[in-house]
Chains A and B, each alone.
Chain A
Amino acid sequence: MAVTVQKHERPPIWRNTTILKWTAQIAFLFGFLAIVAVVVPQVQDNLAGRDITFGWDWLTSELGFLIREGIDTDPATGARTMLVGMVNTLRVTISGVIAATIIGTIIGIARLSNNWIVNKLATVYIETIRNVPLLLQMFFWSAIAGTFVVLDPFDPDTLEAGKYWVAATSKGIGLAWIQPWGGFYQWMIWVLIGAVLGYFLHRRQFRIKEETGRETYPNLSAFGVILVFAIIGWFAHPIFGFVGTIVEAIGNLVGAIPTFALQVVLAVGAIAVGIWWINRFLDERRTPAGLAKLTDDDWFRMITAGVVAVGFAAFFLIVSGFSAKTLDVGEDFFSRWLAPKFDSTTNVADITIDDIQAQVAAGLSLEQIAAEQELRINADLLGLSGADLDAAVAARTPAIRIYENLPEKPDERLTFIPAHKLVEGLTAGVADNLNTLVENDGITPTELATELRLIQDRADNPLRWSRAEVQIRGSNFLDLSPTSGINITPGFFAVWIAVTLYTGAFIAEIVRAGILAVSKGQTEAAGALGLTRAQSLRFIILPQAFRIIFPPLGNQYLNLFKNTSLGIAVAFSEIVSVGFTTSNQTGQTLPVILFWMGFYLSGSLILSAVVNFYNRRLQLVER
């Protein structure tokens, strides 16, 4: 039998699919680049026409506008301004995520309740919140917050200055709050040790429970261990005062690393990651029969990965500023930020009423006493050597003068002091404040001493209870003291409650769908085993539902993160709002937009990486 074999003919070049594909792609890429090449000079021309040059100088120069709230309301540089905005965004995001998860879970379960009224209430909540624009809800809460006047929930008619558990004025909501105090960081070491031990205890108890069926209370015992360590640490925390020295040594070590070393390490790391990726990629295409034929797409991927890795390596090697800055930030973090937090006992002025009275009798003014005490506390942080301080104190130089002669503006550094808020009244303008205190408010030396005792307290207790303080400004204008309790500004309140309720409604639907997706047999089997409804929900349904709920939940968290950007509409100083003001002040629109993109992109990528990581751990391993 004759077999006719058609001779394989190569198609003409304009019919070769590989060539056609790549021609089209490269043509498209060139078209795209051509558009970019047209637009970029256009933008430059336009900017030049308005006397603006694209640049990042604004990051290091002072912008000169105040921010309503955040870790620093009068930031010294543009970079710090953006940092305040970022921290505000993260604050509202994290608290919103926690609250929305709780609300969403409760409503989602309520939505499935057999109880008619609970079921209907949950439905009404979801359908109302979900179908109204988020921005409108934010406006609504903001309008509500503008009308708050409740100082004392038990006596709503009170309108007096003073300290309150809850105080809601049109300037915001003040709540009593537990503030970290002097010994907080030492105490946290104890708690951490307790947590680690508790974790291992929990594992052990749980194993025993699973193996023998004996009730070993794993949760309770782990919690107990942490509690015991927290209680011991409450009294014994000064033991860890030495940690500060170690941390400082680490900081110095980081500072001693030559920039070039880090550059090389980073570059080598980038190359290594590239090689690892390509290797893994090839492994995936390797079958028992050998390496599968690589398509042009595969080659493209590998080459791209290689080029990107080399590009990063080149970046690290050429731009030494990046590594230098990284090392700088690392050193600052350890030496300037973390180390002083463990230093409470060494620098605290130990002063008693008798001392003060003695000094007053010796002819020292109150302002000099207070300034001296305060200087002793802050000397280290201000970069003063002990000898300088002693000399200054001996010369009875007024504190304000010492501040002025410092190499750096003290306020910048003072923002790193955890308890600075408490002495802020003394720090900002020592002389002025004390004079006011003594002359206008008639404060006595005894009271001042008590005030100063507070400073000593911070060495003693890890935490401190602080109530919201209402002040009266002008004739009848209620304001919240920034230093007591915790203050929630109307903007924060509006954004937080709006995103929480909004995301909560979506999470509720996800939770409901997740629970419904668990097969009905599971519930019935749990019932057959004699578990109660609550038990079957807790041990059978929810753990399985969680696996289904988790990925969409991560999406909702991302949405919440992005939705906080609406804060610009209700005067909440998050990143978009702060950036918008910055771009108006400096005209640097494009850099600010790039900054936003960088921030949100990295935030989204980190969050989705975390979600993906846990999702992979949660998935049932099949096959």
Chain B
Amino acid sequence: MTDRIELPEVPELEYAPEKPPQGPVVWMQENLFSSRASTLLTLVGLFIAYVFVKGAAGFLFDWAARRWDMVTLNMRLLMAQAYPAGDNLQITDAMGEPIDQFHRIWISLGIVVALAMFSFVFWRVGSRLSRRNLARVVMGIGGFILFTFLGVPIIDYALPFLFIIGGLAVLYIGFNAIREALGTSRLLGDLALGILINLPIGIALLVLGVTSVDFGGWDWQFSLGVHFWTILAGAVLAGVGWLLQRDEASKEETIPLMGVLGVVAAAVAGLIWVIQVPVPEELVVGADKTWEPVASSTTLPWTIILLGAIVVYFIALGVRRVVPEKTGRRVLAGLWLASFPFLSMVVLRDPGFGEQFAPGFDLTQYILIAVGFLVVGGAIIAVVAHENIGEWLAAIAGVIGVAIIYTWGFTSALFFIRFLLVLLLIFVLGAKTFGSGPARNRYLIVWGATMVILTYFFIIAKGGTTVQVPGASPFGGFLLTLIVFLGVTLLSFPLGVILALGRTSTMPIFRLMSVAYIEVVRAVPLITWLIMSIIFLPFALPLDAELDRILGVILFYSGFSAAYLAENVRGGLQAIRAGQKEASKALGMTTVQTMIFITLPQALRTVIPALVGGAIATFKDTSLVTIISLFDFLHISRFVIPNSTLGRASVRTTLVFAAAFYWIFTFAMSRASLRLEKKLGVGER
């Protein structure tokens, strides 16, 4: 006999009715003046905002003291330091003509933008903005302009009266407290508060207010005369924004974010032809003109890139209809990974062949070695990837291992050979996990591709560069900042994952070494590691060997960053439930397979926000290379420009510009990370 369970009728969920839109007065009552304390806080907050906006506006718009012309004049220096452009350097070719290599920067930028556009499409970045939110942004901008140019002067004028009102309020509260305290003869604290704090503050405010009242204070005509158009623009923006967000429909109507960005890009492409930038007076011959249009060597490439980006976006939309999304994403991820070495080593460095190779370098020898490894190594891998290989795999790996120990420890064979032997061992060891059965052909193709690419990079590393600059390296400015950032991010990732695995390993020596590495590296500040990379690394290398300083910094910085990354990844690894491991064991997976296919992907997915946070920190901390005299973005804005002949007394201006520039990138990254976090639903399970 079965009991029937009567399920109660589920009532329809009733949501509380949406509040009707209210006017600004109600909003202010609720958010600014809800209570006496809140009103006081509003006044204090308003005062702080006034002080800061007044200070900031006074600082930024002080045309006499701020050298914005130094920023606009040196924009190319800031972005790419002395990367040779036809007009800014005296590097000439055999015929005496200046060499212009700057198009390489534009090409790199174009490639990155195109990749970004494809990625936007394939990862479906960009939600839809409601009209209300957009309108609120517009309203906010308008409101800020109004506050800066109208609100601040008004507060300037009204400040003494505000002080008097505030003083009276404080006194009133103080007297109340005293009266209550006396009435109950118990609240000792209130009495002390009233006498010790409120009375002095109140009296001080009163005195300050009364003594500074100036009835002729506000020069209406000046304030309105100078900033009339700005104030009008602010008022129009605020008004339009407020009108747009008023109606109920504005909440539902949405605009795609990418559309907004496209319009902005097109607008910037147009604006760049119209806008004028300040030029130092010393450079303007004759006329008193200190504003000039942007040079066409800047406007043209930007216009092409911005408009091209819009075109590429639509092309990518078309491609998405044909190519499956998953394949597209994989290809794009590969392209992103490949783009960094390709751009930094090939496009920007422009390797020279032929006579520019280092002395004693034999190209044929390298190619023969590479081909030999490709064929023989491929054969070995093909054999070990066979399913019935059994114990022979260990034997073959052992033979290669002995060869490695021999070549590294007891011979002075070419570094190329030693390196390829290690690579071969890695591929042989990985064959069973990645290359068995149907995956064998793919595995062989990966081996071939890796060999070809690595050989190419080994060869170009031996060759010179055609990009001739006065300094040691063609990279500088924001370009160097980006290269260090990307290099460190890419290199520290595998190292950090290995360290995290070591730290969570059950093998004590691996664990001990990982723990020691992570703790020592994390305990000591980054700057000491960077100093070590420039003053100690040369000692650790053979006397004749030379390591590029930038490369040394990237290596040490990656080692540092990896220790932090390892701690983040460890958090993810520890968050995985034991059941996952047990289940994969029950399925017959090996330890390595479990790690690579089960635990790591889950762990990494959990810690993506933390990893992005780490990347942001890395981006900010690339500025530390300034201290060890690498010419990164901060170094140029702090030392190079202010120390130049024209740029005296411009240090605060350039620093503010640099701060704004860094801010845009880090803020964008942190917002993207927030969206990613929401999208992944991390922490919501």
A residues at B contact (CB < 8 Å): 14, 21, 24-26, 28-29, 32, 34, 39, 42-43, 45-47, 49, 113-118, 121, 127-128, 130-137, 139-140, 143-144, 215, 217, 220, 295-297, 300-301, 304, 562-563, 565-566, 568-569, 576, 580, 583, 589-590, 593, 596-597, 600-601, 603-605
Q: Chain B: which residue is nearest A141 at the CB level?
A: B655
| A25 and B659 contact, CB distance less than 8 A | no
When distances are taken between beta carbons in the complex, the residues of chain A under 8 Å from B524 are 562, 596-597, 600-601
Q: Is the interface of B mostly helix, strand, loop or mixed?
A: helix
Kindly state the separation between the CA atoms of A198 and B626 in the bound complex, as whole angstroms. 52
| A139 and B188 contact, CB distance less than 8 A | no
| B513 and A32 contact, CB distance less than 8 A | yes
B14-22, B38-46, B369-377, B430-438: which lies at the A interface? B38-46
Kindly state the separation between the CA atoms of A295 and B38 in the bound complex, as whole angstroms. 63
> Which residues of B, 518-572, contact A by the 8 Å Cβ criterion?
520, 522-528, 531-532, 535-536, 538-543
B261 contacts chain A at the CB level, 8 A cutoff: no
Kindly state the separation between the CA atoms of A576 and B535 in the bound complex, as whole angstroms. 14
Q: Chain B: which residue is nearest A215 at the CB level?
A: B186
| B539 and A576 contact, CB distance less than 8 A | no
When distances are taken between beta carbons in the complex, the residues of chain A under 8 Å from B659 are 132, 136-137, 140
B158 contacts chain A at the CB level, 8 A cutoff: no
Known: A127-B667, A143-B651. A43 touches B539 (CB 8 A): yes
Kindly state the separation between the CA atoms of A32 and B31 in the bound complex, as whole angstroms. 63
Known: A115-B38, A217-B188, A566-B627. A140 touches B543 (CB 8 A): no
| A29 and B525 contact, CB distance less than 8 A | no
| B45 and A115 contact, CB distance less than 8 A | yes
B276 contacts chain A at the CB level, 8 A cutoff: no
Known: A144-B652, A297-B506. A576 touches B663 (CB 8 A): no
When distances are taken between beta carbons in the complex, the residues of chain B under 8 Å from A132 are 620, 659, 662-663, 666
Q: Chain B: which residue is nearest A601 at the CB level?
A: B523
Nearest 6 A-B pairs (CB), nearest first?
A: A117-B45, A116-B31, A562-B525, A131-B666, A25-B509, A300-B508
Partner of A600 from the list B512, B523, B623, B662 (CB cut-off 8 Å) is: B523
| A115 and B42 contact, CB distance less than 8 A | yes
Kindly state the separation between the CA atoms of A42 and B536 in the bound complex, as whole angstroms. 12
Kindly state the separation between the CA atoms of A134 and B626 in the bound complex, as whole angstroms. 12
Whole-angstrom distance between the Cβ of A537 and the nearest chain B Cβ: 12
When distances are taken between beta carbons in the complex, the residues of chain A under 8 Å from B42 are 115, 117-118
Partner of B627 from the list A115, A135, A603 (CB cut-off 8 Å) is: A135
Kindly state the separation between the CA atoms of A14 and B539 in the bound complex, as whole angstroms. 41
Known: A121-B45, A132-B662. A301 touches B394 (CB 8 A): no
Kindly state the separation between the CA atoms of A14 and B38 in the bound complex, as whole angstroms. 75
Kindly state the separation between the CA atoms of A296 and B505 in the bound complex, as whole angstroms. 13
Q: Given contact pairs A42-B542, A135-B627, enumerate 4 new A-B contacts (beta carbons under 8 Å).
A: A113-B41, A133-B634, A569-B627, A600-B523
Q: What are 11 pairs between A and B in contact, CB < 8 Å?
A: A114-B38, A131-B620, A132-B662, A132-B666, A140-B659, A217-B188, A569-B626, A580-B531, A589-B535, A590-B539, A593-B536
Q: Chain B: which residue is nearest A34 at the CB level?
A: B409
| B528 and A565 contact, CB distance less than 8 A | yes
Kindly state the separation between the CA atoms of A118 and B39 in the bound complex, as whole angstroms. 11
B610-651 interface bits toward A, Cβ cutoff 8 Å, 1 = contact, 0 = none: 000000000011011011000000100010000000000001
B residues at A contact (CB < 8 Å): 31-32, 34, 38, 41-42, 44-46, 48-49, 186, 188-189, 391, 394, 409, 506-510, 512-513, 520, 522-528, 531-532, 535-536, 538-543, 620-621, 623-624, 626-627, 634, 638, 651-652, 655-656, 658-659, 662-663, 666-667, 670
| B670 and A131 contact, CB distance less than 8 A | yes
When distances are taken between beta carbons in the complex, the residues of chain B under 8 Å from A603 are 523
Kindly state the separation between the CA atoms of A128 and B21 in the bound complex, as whole angstroms. 32
Q: Is the interface of A mostly helix, strand, loop or mixed?
A: helix
When distances are taken between beta carbons in the complex, the residues of chain A under 8 Å from B662 are 131-133, 136
Kindly state the separation between the CA atoms of A132 and B536 in the bound complex, as whole angstroms. 30
Kindly state the separation between the CA atoms of A217 and B540 in the bound complex, as whole angstroms. 66
Kindly state the separation between the CA atoms of A562 and B560 in the bound complex, as whole angstroms. 13
| B508 and A25 contact, CB distance less than 8 A | yes
Partner of B510 from the list A25, A128, A133, A566 (CB cut-off 8 Å) is: A25
Known: A118-B41, A597-B524, A600-B525. A139 touches B655 (CB 8 A): yes
| B536 and A590 contact, CB distance less than 8 A | yes
Kindly state the separation between the CA atoms of A217 and B189 in the bound complex, as whole angstroms. 10
Residue of A28, A34, A117 ringed by the most chain B CB atoms within 10 A: A117
Kindly state the separation between the CA atoms of A14 and B398 in the bound complex, as whole angstroms. 12
Q: Chain A: which residue is nearest B502 at the CB level?
A: A28
Q: Chain A: which residue is nearest B545 at the CB level?
A: A42
When distances are taken between beta carbons in the complex, the residues of chain B under 8 Å from A25 are 507-510
When distances are taken between beta carbons in the complex, the residues of chain A under 8 Å from B45 are 115, 117-118, 121
| B394 and A14 contact, CB distance less than 8 A | yes
When distances are taken between beta carbons in the complex, the residues of chain A under 8 Å from B528 are 565, 576, 593, 596-597, 600
Partner of A131 from the list B46, B627, B656, B663 (CB cut-off 8 Å) is: B663
Q: Chain A: which residue is nearest B395 at the CB level?
A: A14
| A604 and B623 contact, CB distance less than 8 A | no
When distances are taken between beta carbons in the complex, the residues of chain A under 8 Å from B32 are 115-117
When distances are taken between beta carbons in the complex, the residues of chain A under 8 Å from B651 are 139, 143
When distances are taken between beta carbons in the complex, the residues of chain B under 8 Å from A562 are 524-526
Known: A121-B45, A131-B670. A143 touches B655 (CB 8 A): yes
Q: Chain B: which residue is nearest A220 at the CB level?
A: B188
Whole-angstrom distance between the Cβ of A17 and the nearest chain B Cβ: 9
Kindly state the separation between the CA atoms of A168 and B31 in the bound complex, as whole angstroms. 40
Kindly state the separation between the CA atoms of A135 and B481 in the bound complex, as whole angstroms. 14
Known: A131-B663, A135-B626, A140-B652. A49 touches B543 (CB 8 A): yes
Whole-angstrom distance between the Cβ of B446 and the nearest chain A Cβ: 25
Q: Chain B: which residue is nearest A564 at the CB level?
A: B525
| A133 and B623 contact, CB distance less than 8 A | yes
Kindly state the separation between the CA atoms of A305 and B667 in the bound complex, as whole angstroms. 47
Kindly state the separation between the CA atoms of A14 and B393 in the bound complex, as whole angstroms. 12
Residue of B525, B526, B634, B651 ringed by the most chain A CB atoms within 10 A: B525
Kindly state the separation between the CA atoms of A215 and B670 in the bound complex, as whole angstroms. 49
Kindly state the separation between the CA atoms of A562 and B666 in the bound complex, as whole angstroms. 22
Q: Chain A: which residue is nearest B522 at the CB level?
A: A604
Whole-angstrom distance between the Cβ of B557 and the nearest chain A Cβ: 14
| B540 and A39 contact, CB distance less than 8 A | yes
Whole-angstrom distance between the Cβ of B24 and the nearest chain A Cβ: 12
When distances are taken between beta carbons in the complex, the residues of chain B under 8 Å from A28 are 509-510, 513
| B621 and A133 contact, CB distance less than 8 A | yes
When distances are taken between beta carbons in the complex, the residues of chain A under 8 Å from B621 are 133
When distances are taken between beta carbons in the complex, the residues of chain A under 8 Å from B658 are 136
Kindly state the separation between the CA atoms of A43 and B536 in the bound complex, as whole angstroms. 9
When distances are taken between beta carbons in the complex, the residues of chain A under 8 Å from B41 are 113, 115, 117-118
When distances are taken between beta carbons in the complex, the residues of chain B under 8 Å from A47 are 539
When distances are taken between beta carbons in the complex, the residues of chain B under 8 Å from A215 are 186
When distances are taken between beta carbons in the complex, the residues of chain B under 8 Å from A46 are 538-540, 543
Whole-angstrom distance between the Cβ of A293 and the nearest chain B Cβ: 14
Kindly state the separation between the CA atoms of A505 and B430 in the bound complex, as whole angstroms. 46
Whole-angstrom distance between the Cβ of A176 and the nearest chain B Cβ: 19
Residue of B512, B526, B539 ringed by the most chain A CB atoms within 10 A: B539
Partner of A301 from the list B508, B522, B531, B536 (CB cut-off 8 Å) is: B508
Partner of A42 from the list B394, B508, B541 (CB cut-off 8 Å) is: B541
| B527 and A565 contact, CB distance less than 8 A | yes
Kindly state the separation between the CA atoms of A113 and B35 in the bound complex, as whole angstroms. 13
Whole-angstrom distance between the Cβ of A522 and the nearest chain B Cβ: 21
When distances are taken between beta carbons in the complex, the residues of chain B under 8 Å from A118 are 41-42, 44-45
Residue of B41, B391, B662 ringed by the most chain A CB atoms within 10 A: B41
Kindly state the separation between the CA atoms of A28 and B513 in the bound complex, as whole angstroms. 10
Whole-angstrom distance between the Cβ of A597 and the nearest chain B Cβ: 5
Known: A131-B670, A133-B621, A135-B634. A604 touches B523 (CB 8 A): yes
Kindly state the separation between the CA atoms of A39 and B545 in the bound complex, as whole angstroms. 13
When distances are taken between beta carbons in the complex, the residues of chain A under 8 Å from B188 are 217, 220
Whole-angstrom distance between the Cβ of B381 and the nearest chain A Cβ: 21
| B509 and A583 contact, CB distance less than 8 A | no
